[in-house]
Chains A and B, each alone.
Chain A
């Protein structure tokens, strides 16, 4: 029974995120949009570029959606409801999401076209930029909870949510999550106006469908991660845990789309520069801050 509710929350969040994505670019609410997109891409032909790399070409979409989906496996949906409650949940989220980078690199290399290749290599640069803030801020939340188990991390926020306890960590994790999910302004791999579709340019039909679905799942898993790490997960006054998770996840996803409207696309070199000069020291200071607070 609980699992049915979990699956309903999952699917409806995916649907909601697709509608939100359309809203963020075109500013109109179209509740039938996911179905239209799905059916449109579903009947498209599958084109395999000439001289492509077959292993990478076929594996990239599947790995992409699998990695995003795997990260959800350790995140709790409600009190005690987590698909796989392993003791190293916080670490596992990061490990699973690392394969997103592998999938995108594969997708960039496989079609044997310059647009895709440039997009893929740029995303690797972004990975080097966003990895450190993500890992360090997760460590800070782990410090508070004294355990890497996701359930314990959420429970440790019973008194005060992490967003107030570690605000710097929240900001860094949020920005790094935007870079991970290649949302604007970090949308280098599929830069519409620079690389004419970039990494996804040569994919059509069923593989493109997997990529787009995978992107929705990725955004969902990141929103759920932000909710669980910083916003207290399922905790809330009146409604049951599931509903709170759903509401918080949708709000975080909406804000992820909205937060990108402040600057144009940031070059990956600049992302790297700012991440290593400012974000990593800030994350280290965040750990210091949490360390001192915990001792008091």
Chain B
């Protein structure tokens, strides 16, 4: 319990450090408002239009595989801890599980899911 509290305090400490840095920064003077200064820089031009919008990331195939494997890894963590105790049975059990998922990966590969969409 104390360990997690310590980690939480580390988090607060970092935020506090950032806050102190910001305060110290105030001594170096204010930002002068000038036209064009707060427009995003586009290597020699102003970029006044918003950039937000629907963005096509071409890696959604990988993202789906990532989801599947991440769920698998969540199961593997406790398995890894007790592995040596249980021995061969553990290897075989998890081996079957991994094999199924691995076959899924191979299937995706063959169907062209592992490339830029």
* Residues of A that sit less than 8 Å from B by CB: 42-43, 45-51, 61-62, 65-66, 69-70, 73-74, 83-86, 88, 91-92, 109, 111-117, 121, 124-125, 128-129, 131-132, 135-136, 139-140, 142-144, 146-148, 196, 201-202, 205-206, 209-210, 268-269, 272-273, 276-277, 280-281, 284, 287-288, 291-292, 294-295
* Residue pair A202, B40 in contact (C-beta under 8 Å): yes
* Residue pair A277, B109 in contact (C-beta under 8 Å): yes
B64 vs chain A, min Cβ distance (A):
10
User: With a CB–CB cut-off of 8 A, which chain A residues contact B105?
Assistant: 276, 280-281
* Residue B96 lies at the interface, judged by CB distance under 8 Å to chain A: no
Interface residues of B in 63-107 (CB under 8 A from A): 63, 65-66, 69-70, 73, 76-77, 80-85, 87-88, 90-91, 94-95, 98, 102, 105
Complexed CA–CA distance, A132 and B48 (Å): 39
User: With a CB–CB cut-off of 8 A, which chain A residues contact B114?
Assistant: 272-273, 276-277
User: With a CB–CB cut-off of 8 A, which chain B residues contact A128?
Assistant: 59, 62-63, 66
User: With a CB–CB cut-off of 8 A, which chain A residues contact B38?
Assistant: 47-50
A197 vs chain B, min Cβ distance (A):
8
B96 vs chain A, min Cβ distance (A):
12
Q: Of A50, A85, A132, A146, which is within 8 A of B81 by CB?
A: A146
Complexed CA–CA distance, A210 and B17 (Å): 10
* Residues of B that sit less than 8 Å from A by CB: 3-4, 6-7, 10-11, 14-15, 18, 21-22, 25, 28-29, 31-32, 37-43, 47-48, 50-52, 55, 57-59, 62-63, 65-66, 69-70, 73, 76-77, 80-85, 87-88, 90-91, 94-95, 98, 102, 105, 109, 114-116
> Quick one: given A129-B62, A272-B62, are A143 and B84 in contact (CB under 8 Å)?
yes
Complexed CA–CA distance, A43 and B31 (Å): 10
> Quick one: given A128-B63, A131-B70, A277-B109, are A45 and B31 in contact (CB under 8 Å)?
yes
B57 vs chain A, min Cβ distance (A):
6
Chain A contact residues: helix, strand, loop or mixed: helix
| Selected A-B contacts with CB under 8 Å, 29 pairs | A49-B39, A50-B38, A50-B48, A62-B15, A73-B7, A83-B6, A83-B7, A83-B10, A84-B4, A91-B77, A112-B52, A113-B41, A113-B42, A128-B62, A136-B76, A142-B81, A146-B84, A146-B85, A205-B31, A206-B21, A269-B115, A276-B62, A277-B109, A287-B76, A288-B95, A291-B91, A291-B94, A292-B91, A294-B83
* Residue pair B55, A73 in contact (C-beta under 8 Å): no
User: With a CB–CB cut-off of 8 A, which chain A residues contact B32?
Assistant: 45
B48 vs chain A, min Cβ distance (A):
7
* Residue pair B115, A201 in contact (C-beta under 8 Å): no
User: With a CB–CB cut-off of 8 A, which chain A residues contact B31?
Assistant: 45-47, 205
